């Protein structure tokens, strides 16, 4: 029997709060299942303030920070914020923890280690359950913990992080690509981690984070996706999964202009400048990487790819529009008017 695909949308808090809240209401009205609020303190409005406001302005949408981290807030502050939002949106709040990419780089810090991730997730679970935690010899507990579980997911892209998520978290958000070969390889690592704590894949919530760019033509979609595709597939750790796609991507020397993009290529404030900086990669390679790592193309193409990947076990998507400093209004309209109707016709909504 065909199971519906859950679809959540990434919301960068780069717009003023009144606009941001109207946008989140539009996400719910368009039929999305959830909204993840980007947590990057110098780029976005405060994530938990936004989540609290969104909780009072929506009724169905699952709300979560995507992704928060172990160092921009102390674990006790995180627990307090999570519990507060959960009281406003009971049963539709969860948390996604990551190592803190732009949260770290914009303040000159390194991302959190996997050891810090393990410790933070463990302590968060204890605090939200009402249990005492040892803070450097001082026991502390969350005085208003409800004891009602809030799912704690871990964002992961490398093999060790994926295995850790399978071991210690309630689920995982995977930013690894969107290809059948990648899916199979990644689930193998996740299962290894789950076994360490006596669990199975079926015990975990598994969300596939997918960079998404849609346009009326394949050529325009791929042009717009250039910064993200180059960042993911050529410059970063995500390229490690390309071996499972059987693609042969040549080595490229990264020109200085790419490193000067603020805050980085895939979060660029000036998107056209970022596109121009990736001209060293041929269109053919961009197309290959786009198909392996994201949902890049026309709405019809992207709907077909979602349907195809459900056969590989993909049942929950986190749609990450290409740009951080441009709101996802286009993606909201396109999913509402073109993608969701096609998925519904295929029995996937």
Average of per-residue pLDDT across 266-277: 96
Instruction: Report how many domains make up the chain.
Output: 1
> Does residue 238 belong to any structural domain of this protein?
no
| DSSP bridge pairs for 68 | 97
Query: Three-class SS of residue 41?
Result: coil
Q: What is the pLDDT of residue 212?
A: 97
> Does residue 224 belong to any structural domain of this protein?
no
CATH of the domain at 106: 3.20.20.30
Q: What is the pLDDT of residue 312?
A: 85
Summarised one tens digit per residue, pLDDT across range 129-138 is 999 999 999 9
Residues above pLDDT 70, as percent of the chain: 99
Q: What is the pLDDT of residue 236?
A: 72
> Does residue 230 belong to any structural domain of this protein?
no
Q: What is the pLDDT of residue 333?
A: 98
Alpha-carbon gap, residue 100 to 91, rounded angstroms: 26
> Does residue 89 belong to any structural domain of this protein?
yes
Say if residues 86 and 148 touch (Cβ distance below 8 Å).
yes
Residues above pLDDT 90, as percent of the chain: 91
> Does residue 233 belong to any structural domain of this protein?
no
> Does residue 231 belong to any structural domain of this protein?
no
pLDDT at 1 > cutoff 60 = no
Taken as a whole, the chain contains a residue count of 349
Say if residues 177 and 283 touch (Cβ distance below 8 Å).
no
Q: Which two tokens stand for residue 134?
A: 């040892």
Q: Which helix (H) or strand (E) holds 307?
A: helix 299-310
Longest CA span, the chain:
60
Say if residues 268 and 274 touch (Cβ distance below 8 Å).
yes
| Residue 10, domain extent | 6-218+295-345
Q: What is the pLDDT of residue 2?
A: 61
The whole-chain average pLDDT of the chain stands at: 95
Residues in Cβ contact with 308 at an 8 Å cutoff, skipping those fewer than 6 apart: 180
> Does residue 243 belong to any structural domain of this protein?
no
Q: What is the pLDDT of residue 311?
A: 84
> Does residue 232 belong to any structural domain of this protein?
no
Q: Vertex 33, ends 17 and 101: CA angle to 5°? A: 60
Summarised one tens digit per residue, pLDDT across range 323-338 is 999 999 999 999 999 9
């Amino acid at each position: 029997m065909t199971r519906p695909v859950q679809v959540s949308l990434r919301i960068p808090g780069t717009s003023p709060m009144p606009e941001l809240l109207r946008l989140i209401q539009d996400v719910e009205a368009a039929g999305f299942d959830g909204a993840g609020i980007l947590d990057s303190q110098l780029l976005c409005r405060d994530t938990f303030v936004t989540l609290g406001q969104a909780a009072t302005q929506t009724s169905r949408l699952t709300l979560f920070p995507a992704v928060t981290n172990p160092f921009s807030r102390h674990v006790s502050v995180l627990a307090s914020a999570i519990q507060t939002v959960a009281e406003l949106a009971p049963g539709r709040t969860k948390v996604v923890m990551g190592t803190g990419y732009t949260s770290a780089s914009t303040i000159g810090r390194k991302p959190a280690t996997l050891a810090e991730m393990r410790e933070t997730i463990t302590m968060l679970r204890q605090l939200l359950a009402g249990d005492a935690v040892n803070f450097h010899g001082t026991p502390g507990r969350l005085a208003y913990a409800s004891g009602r579980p809030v799912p704690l997911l871990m964002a992961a892209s490398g093999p060790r992080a994926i295995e850790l998520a399978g071991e210690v978290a309630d689920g995982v958000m995977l930013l690894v690509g969107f290809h059948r070969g990648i899916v199979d390889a990644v689930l193998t690592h996740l299962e290894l981690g789950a076994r360490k704590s006596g669990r199975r894949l079926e015990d975990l919530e598994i969300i596939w984070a997918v960079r998404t760019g849609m346009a009326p033509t394949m050529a325009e979609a791929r042009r717009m996706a250039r910064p993200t595709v180059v960042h993911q597939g050529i410059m970063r750790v995500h390229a490690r999964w390309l071996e499972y796609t059987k693609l042969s991507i040549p080595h490229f020397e990264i020109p200085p202009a790419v490193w000067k993009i603020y805050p980085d290529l895939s979060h660029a404030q000036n998107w056209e400048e970022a596109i121009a900086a990736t001209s060293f990669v041929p269109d053919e390679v961009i197309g290959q990487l786009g198909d392996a790592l994201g949902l890049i193309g026309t709405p019809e193409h992207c709907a077909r790819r979602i349907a195809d990947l459900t056969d590989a076990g993909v049942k929950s998507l986190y749609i990450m529009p290409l740009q951080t400093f441009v709101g996802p209004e286009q993606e909201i309209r396109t999913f509402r008017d073109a993608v969701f109707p096609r998925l519904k016709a295929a029995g996937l909504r």
